[in-house]
């Protein structure tokens, strides 16, 4: 049994806290919102974001960050990506050298183009940062449906420690040394999911969805490999796997926001209706900036960016993708 803290009591943080309790660990769940903590203590359920998932009476729920951080063998940082830096900064004076922080949010910081573990290491220099990611909607993890994810760390021992903490009969954890690829895959797939949602909102069909997923993983891989990630990662759970689930699932907030925009709503109207952080909106700007920095072609992501920030209509964006210059699908394949 390990002493584990989950920093952030949204749907994903709450689902992971529940899983960790079921694994027999001593779990503390932290939220900065007093009303949320009171509700979780009283109802033993996140009635707004994760209804139906009952929390163990043994789980401690608190607004006291010091209580959550001090003595924890592993901390799960589960706040939305735009709040990763500010939360890490609050944690920094409390974290002891060598404490392990596992990021489970998905995003790229727009202003710096840093991954979230890079931000954690910058704000908390003495910690060990790692990542846990994959096709894993909180609603299904909370219900105990079979799920697979990847633990990424700078050394095998840390990755295997995380694997042992989280893994059980319905939550399978693989390990990987490619932290960069894992994080870029998790962030970039949200932008493609916006595109898939837009296509659904426009009334397009399965052919369109398949095209967006297939060509979307090409764009994700181009950016990821140019930044230093491994192509194998984008072919795995945190690349194509996470992309499929986020483009297709009714639980996907990015797909839902895209769907609403495809139906004619503005970005702000869509985000307000989803009522949770739509991380693909933040990642779109960073993705375009990375592509320009490394001179890679990302037509789908660029069209999503145009819909989000340049007042381009969704239908015009799709038309722009279809009438581009003729291309070879894979330029690495030789002709006889």
| CA–CA separation, 81 and 279 (whole Å) | 7
Query: Topology of domain 180-322, per CATH?
Result: 1.10.1040
Quick one: pLDDT at residue 5?
98
Please report which confidence band the pLDDT of residue 321 belongs to, taking 50, 70 and 90 as the band edges: confident
Q: Report the share of the chain in percent with pLDDT over 70.
A: 100
| Mean pLDDT, rounded, for 299-313 | 93
- Pairwise CA distance, residues 297 & 3, whole Å: 45
Closest C-alpha to 165, from 26, 62, 31, 8 = 26
Give residue limits of the domains in the chain.
3-177, 180-322
Kindly name the residue from 49, 106, 189, 209 that is annotated as catalytic: 189
> In the beta sheet, which residues pair with residue 103?
77, 131
From the list 283, 333, 325, the residue with the least C-alpha distance to 308 is: 283
Nearest to 135 by CA among 231, 17, 245: 245
- The reply to whether 209 belongs to the active site is no
- Angstrom distance (rounded) from CA 123 to CA 141: 30
Residues 185, 284: Cα–Cα separation, whole Å: 13
pLDDT of residue 282: 86
For residue 335, what are the contacts with CB-CB under 8 A and spacing of at least 6? Answer: none
Tell me which residue of 187, 160, 40 sits closest to 104, measured CA to CA.
187
In this prediction the pTM is: 0.94
Residues 70-104 have pLDDT tens digits of 999 999 999 999 999 999 999 999 999 999 999 99
For 330, which DSSP code?
Answer: -
Q: What is the pLDDT of residue 14?
A: 97
Query: Which three-class secondary structure state does DSSP give residue 45?
Result: strand
Q: Do domains 3-177 and 180-322 have the same CATH topology?
A: no
Q: What is the pLDDT of residues 224-281, one digit of tens each?
A: 999 999 999 999 999 999 999 999 988 888 999 999 999 988 888 888 888 777 888 8
From the list 271, 140, 138, the residue with the least C-alpha distance to 197 is: 271
Q: For domain 3-177, say whether CATH 3.40.50.720 is its number.
A: yes
pLDDT of residue 267: 84
The length of the chain, given as a count of residues: 336
The distance from CA 319 to its chain's CA centroid, rounded to whole angstroms, is 29
**What dihedral do alpha carbons 196, 200, 205, 211 form, nearest 10°?**
-10
Which tokens sit at 257? 């926001």
Contact 7, 66 (CB under 8 A): no
Distances (CA, A) of 156 to 13, 99, 132, 176, 182: 25, 16, 14, 8, 15
Which burial class, exposed, middle or buried, applies to 42 when counting CB atoms under 10 A from its CB (0-12, 13-18, 19+)?
A: exposed
The two beta strands, 147-152 and 171-176, are parallel
Read off the pLDDT of residues 2-51 as tens digits, 9 standing for 90 and up.
999 999 999 999 999 999 999 999 999 999 999 999 999 999 999 989 99
DSSP element (H, E) containing 31: none
């Amino acid at each position: 049994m390990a002493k584990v803290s989950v920093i952030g009591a949204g749907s994903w943080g709450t689902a992971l806290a529940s899983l960790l309790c079921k694994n027999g660990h001593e779990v503390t769940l932290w939220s900065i919102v007093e009303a949320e903590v009171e509700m979780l203590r009283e109802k033993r359920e996140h009635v707004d974001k994760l209804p139906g998932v009952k929390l163990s009476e043994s789980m401690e729920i608190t607004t006291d960050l010091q209580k959550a951080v001090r003595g924890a063998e592993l901390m799960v940082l589960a706040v939305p990506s735009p709040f990763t830096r500010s939360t890490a900064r609050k944690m920094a004076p409390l974290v002891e050298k060598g404490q392990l922080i596992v990021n489970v949010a998905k995003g790229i910081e727009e202003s710096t183009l840093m991954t979230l573990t890079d931000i954690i290491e910058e704000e908390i220099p003495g910690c060990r940062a790692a990542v846990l990611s994959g096709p894993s909607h909180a609603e299904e993890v909370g219900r105990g449906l079979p799920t697979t994810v990847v633990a990424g760390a700078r050394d095998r021992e840390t990755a295997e420690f995380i694997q042992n903490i989280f893994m059980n009969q319905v939550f399978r954890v693989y390990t990987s040394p490619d932290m960069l690829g894992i994080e870029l895959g998790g962030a970039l797939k949200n932008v493609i999911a916006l595109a898939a949602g837009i296509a659904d909102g426009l009334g397009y069909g399965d052919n369109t969805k398949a095209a967006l997923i297939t060509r979307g993983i090409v764009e994700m891989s181009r950016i990821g490999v140019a930044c230093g990630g491994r192509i194998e990662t984008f072919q795995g759970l945190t690349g194509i796997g996470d992309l499929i689930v986020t483009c297709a699932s009714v639980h996907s907030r990015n797909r839902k926001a895209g769907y609403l925009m495809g139906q004619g709503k503005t970005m702000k109207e869509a985000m307000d209706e989803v009522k949770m952080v739509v991380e693909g909106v933040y990642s779109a700007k960073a993705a375009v900036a990375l592509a320009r920095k490394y001179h890679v072609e990302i037509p789908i992501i660029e069209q999503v960016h145009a819909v989000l920030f340049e007042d381009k209509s969704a239908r015009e964006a799709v038309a722009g993708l279809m009438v581009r210059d003729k291309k070879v699908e894979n330029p690495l394949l030789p002709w006889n």
